[in-house]
Amino acid sequence: MAEDRVEFDLDAAVQDVERLLNTASAAEALAYIAALHPADQAALVAELDPERRAPLLPRIPREALADILDYLEEEPRRAVVGELDPAVLGPLLDDVDRDVAVDVLRGLAPDRARTTLANMRSAAEVTPLLAFEDKSAGGRATSDFVALQRAWTVEQALGYLRSYKPSAEQVFYLYVIDDERRLGGVVSLRQLVVAGPERRIEELMTPEVVSVHPNEDQEEALRRVQHYNFVALPVVDEERHLVGVVSVDDLMDVAEEEATEDMYRMAGLAEDETLLRPIARSVAPRMSWLLLNLVTAFAAASIVNAFEGTIERAAALAVFMPIIAGMGGNAGIQTITLTVRSIALGEVDVRDALHIVRRELIIGVTNGVTIGLVLGMLAYLWKDNVGLGVVAGSAMLLNMTTAVTVGVLVPLTLRALKLDPALAAGVIVTTFTDVLGFFFFLGLATLMIDRIA
Amino acid sequence: MAEDRVEFDLDAAVQDVERLLNTASAAEALAYIAALHPADQAALVAELDPERRAPLLPRIPREALADILDYLEEEPRRAVVGELDPAVLGPLLDDVDRDVAVDVLRGLAPDRARTTLANMRSAAEVTPLLAFEDKSAGGRATSDFVALQRAWTVEQALGYLRSYKPSAEQVFYLYVIDDERRLGGVVSLRQLVVAGPERRIEELMTPEVVSVHPNEDQEEALRRVQHYNFVALPVVDEERHLVGVVSVDDLMDVAEEEATEDMYRMAGLAEDETLLRPIARSVAPRMSWLLLNLVTAFAAASIVNAFEGTIERAAALAVFMPIIAGMGGNAGIQTITLTVRSIALGEVDVRDALHIVRRELIIGVTNGVTIGLVLGMLAYLWKDNVGLGVVAGSAMLLNMTTAVTVGVLVPLTLRALKLDPALAAGVIVTTFTDVLGFFFFLGLATLMIDRIA
């Protein structure tokens, strides 16, 4: 019976390798690494201390190192590439997946990219992919795919597959092209196996192929693959030339990136921020976000300032200010998170605006009345002041209603303007709930100051 | 040349179908729908008004309706299933993917599930999958997969594939089992095509197969598929019996669900909340979250209350309160969002705590000093009050330092306690920054009240 595959324990493997480096030899550490699955090798290499890793890298056989690059995540891959001798990198990139090679080249300084490309046998195949933008469908595409000629017979196609020896992943879909590399259809390997050897590929193929244009956004490729439940998508230019293929494992990374981007944008983080990045690169973007927030905070403060006289007469108002503003903010964040994510998942769009506003308003008013009553009652009991209870409760209801309205309308408006609905979502909604919350609360308090002070 | 596939326009298709229903006949609307790709049919059916959809459904041929169910998202699928006659549903579920059938049955009331299952030919194959929990690997698995016997020759295997006619997706990996259905290895269709017809499957197969246990969390299956870049993962029990296969398109849904869950948990939304859900089901969970927030808001308010005397002497302090608390909250939300997401993506874990705290503290103090200086200066210029400037600036620095510390430690602590790091992340961090922000600011102001008032 086959060996049960033992679950890979990254922490233990890192310790093992470090122990071997300390007590045995680099050769033994390399033998240990070589026995692992390439995906596990990559995870291990990513975790190793750069000072211990750098001398090991040149001693890993080129094909194994290429596999490791294929599996490495972007951030550690950049670090590993940085530790490699430029003369080694070019030939190495010939052996990695075409889309990974393109990503690596794109991350290099222009000079180094040029030298590396000059050292690559596959430069001619990689260069056209380099022309596409990083986050476009073309930028995610690989040119490692199997294309069959439409005029071939099944036997010719199978013979081609036997000689070409593609990887299992490359033959999920077999794309059919004509003499000018124009995409004409798709067949599956199963169809070839089942069909008679004399049948022609063009008789078997499905002529309608869903594809993506190289300049379309990678998100568009993702959306299409998810919609049709494909595992790969051909990338086709205006003349339907097949320029590459995007595979589902790359698109899975896209899905994660897009979710991360939304979360980060809502919180005002740079979309490529990570806890692994050098501090110096993180300070400036976060600082500029906070400085922008400072401007909006002064907007809220100036409302309070306008009512300073009221607060002077009843300092107890200051106690309830953060409750009104904060609770409105919380309700608004709920609605805006839900709206941003629902747009991202394609569940709702601008056409649903009326329906969603109505829905959230009903929820906002229901919750606003309840929370307003509870707050009003507590304020009255705490401060033994009916006027304060009435003002706090009413301001709470008004602010919650504002919060859900803003929470729906801000992302939908950004979407209608073709901007990212997640853009600064958090700070926009809390600015509204702070400014209006203070205005409602202190404004009502000023009107009823004789009942409060 | 093949027709270029025109991009599907959902809105236009919905209008077309509605127009056909209004001005022509249901038969013409059905013919229009039938001409679309099943994925597009599903999107269209999901958008149709339920009152127009319900009478159409029984007139869609069973196989086409089964395809539509395969492609429908969970929420509209539940609606469509609800509109179907129970006598129709059983035989229909025989034709949908096994994992979809299981999902549908799981969503039915127990009585209806029992009746439906009784009407299914494939009840015996579906029932074992029903035993697994919804969000487990087993709960995501399908029993539609191709298993080859290890003792077969390549010729026997190809003959089996010809007679069984699996879909293209089912033959990405061919799992190899023994007489007792125990998983022994995996071969690819390409290997079969390339090998001689007399070779035995067990000679060709890769004996080490990465698998997942049916009771493991679906996230574990996702993690493994992403780590190894697979497009499917076999689900195997303690005795290595092959019970099902999870495919990458299902795991893509898992990745989206998990990201949604994190975003929603951070904002205090129920993880299955959607803008498409009946309002009544959304009010209670959101209300209980807001009531919990009200408790934390009173914590902040009681700090202000303790300093009411100070505010009475200098009402201008109330103007700066929201700035100190709000800016601390914004900085804290940045750090906590980054930490929660980095944990979810497996980039960092509890072992990295020291490193991350140090990193975020450096950023927090750098930004705190800068924002503190700016705020202090602005406060001084606005109110012509040096004491106020010093107090506001110092409180800002202290609160930002607190914010980043809490932002890192809260998710890491939750993670160490085996809880979800995203749990209530937003409100925890803002409670800290409100409570401590007011305490720092009003506390310092009390100490220096003679320089301020």
Residue A226's pLDDT band (boundaries 50, 70, 90)? confident
What average pLDDT score do residues A192-211 get?
90
Burial of residue B109 (CB within 10 Å: 0-12, 13-18, 19+) is: exposed
Same-domain status, B229 and B305:
no
Q: Please check the confidence at residue A161 and state whether its pLDDT lies above 70.
A: yes
Alpha carbons A346 and A344: distance in angstroms, whole number:
5
At B104, which CATH number?
A: 1.25.60.10
Q: Does any domain span residue A219?
A: yes
Q: Which of A47, A294, A397 to mutate to test the interface with B (most CBs of B within 10 A)?
A: A294
A207: chain B residues, CB-CB within 8 Å: 2-3
Say how many domains are in chain A. Answer: 3
Pair of tokens at residue A439: 């205005």
CATH code where residue B322 lies: 1.10.357.20
CATH number at residue A151: 3.10.580.10
Question: Is residue A5 a part of any domain in this protein?
Answer: no
> Quick one: pLDDT at residue B453?
82
Please answer yes or no on whether A330 and B71 come within 8 Å at the CB atom: no
Comparing A267-276, B84-93, B351-360, the range with the smallest average pLDDT is A267-276
Q: Which of A106, A45, A376, B209 is nearest to A117 (CA)?
A: A106
Residue A142 lies in a domain: no
Contact predicate A242/A147, CB 8 Å: yes
Domain boundary among A267, A297, A328: A267
Report CB contact under 8 Å: B227, A39. yes
Residue B72's pLDDT band (cuts 50, 70, 90): very high
For residue B143, the 8-state DSSP code is S
| C-beta separation of A400 from A324 below 8 A | no
Q: Do B412 and B287 reside in the same domain of the chain?
A: yes
Instruction: For residue A183, list its beta bridge partners.
Output: A177
Asked whether residue B273 is domain-assigned, the answer is no
Token pair, residue B273, equals 């909340």
Residue for token digits 């539509």?
B68
| Whether the Cβ atoms of residue A350 and residue A415 lie closer than 8 Å to each other | yes
Is the model's pLDDT at B108 over the cut of 80?
Answer: yes
Q: B87 is in which domain, residue-wise?
A: 10-133
Residue A274 falls within a domain, yes or no? no
> A100, A131, A162: which is the final residue of a domain?
A131
Whether residues B299 and B445 fall in one domain: yes
Burial label, A35 (beta-carbon count in 10 A; 0-12, 13-18, 19+)? exposed
Residues A9-33 have a mean pLDDT of 91
Dihedral (CA of A257, A263, A266, A270) sign: negative
Q: Within this chain, do residues A258 and A193 fall inside the same structural domain, yes or no?
A: yes
Euclidean distance between CA atoms A208 and A104, whole angstroms: 34
Same domain, A170 and A88: no
pTM above threshold 0.90? no
CA distances from A95 to A92, A281, A418 (A): 6, 32, 40
**How far B363 CA lies from chain A's nearest CA (Å)?**
6
Same domain, B228 and B365: no
Number of neighbouring beta carbons within 10 Å of residue B88: 15
- Residue B341 distance to chain A (closest CA, Å): 7
My answer on whether B386 and B338 are in the same domain is yes
- Would you state the pLDDT for residue B146? 85
Residue B176 pLDDT = 96
Side-chain-side CA neighbours of residue B211 (13 Å): 31
| Interchain CB distance below 8 Å, A259 and B256 | yes
In angstroms, the CA A205 to CA A190 distance is 12
Same-domain status, B236 and B310? no
Contact A279 B363 (CB under 8 A): yes
pLDDT at B367: 94
Which tops the pLDDT comparison, A248 or B406? B406
Tell me what the pLDDT averaged over chain B comes to: 90
A239 within a domain of the structure (yes/no): yes
Whether residues B345 and A209 touch (CB distance < 8 A) is answered with no
Are A335 and A376 contained in the same domain?
yes
Do A44 and A21 belong to one domain? yes
Same domain, B88 and B50: yes
What pLDDT is attached to residue A197?
Answer: 86
Which residues of A fall within a CB distance of 8 Å from B332? none
Is residue B3 predicted with pLDDT exceeding 50? no
Of the candidates A267, A294, A325, which is a domain's last residue? Answer: A267
Nearest CB partner across the interface for B286, out of A286, A323, A334: A334
pLDDT at A208 over 90: no
pLDDT of residue A3: 38
Is the pLDDT assigned to residue A164 strictly greater than 80? no
Query: Looking at beta carbons, which residues of chain B come within 8 Å of A318?
Result: 304, 308, 311, 315, 317-318, 321
Residue A4 within any structural domain of the chain: no
pLDDT above 90 for B325 = yes
Instruction: Name the pairing type of β-strands B242-247 and A183-187.
Output: unpaired
Q: Is residue A248 part of a domain?
A: yes
- Both A171 and A316 in a single domain? no
Mean pLDDT, rounded, for B210-238: 91
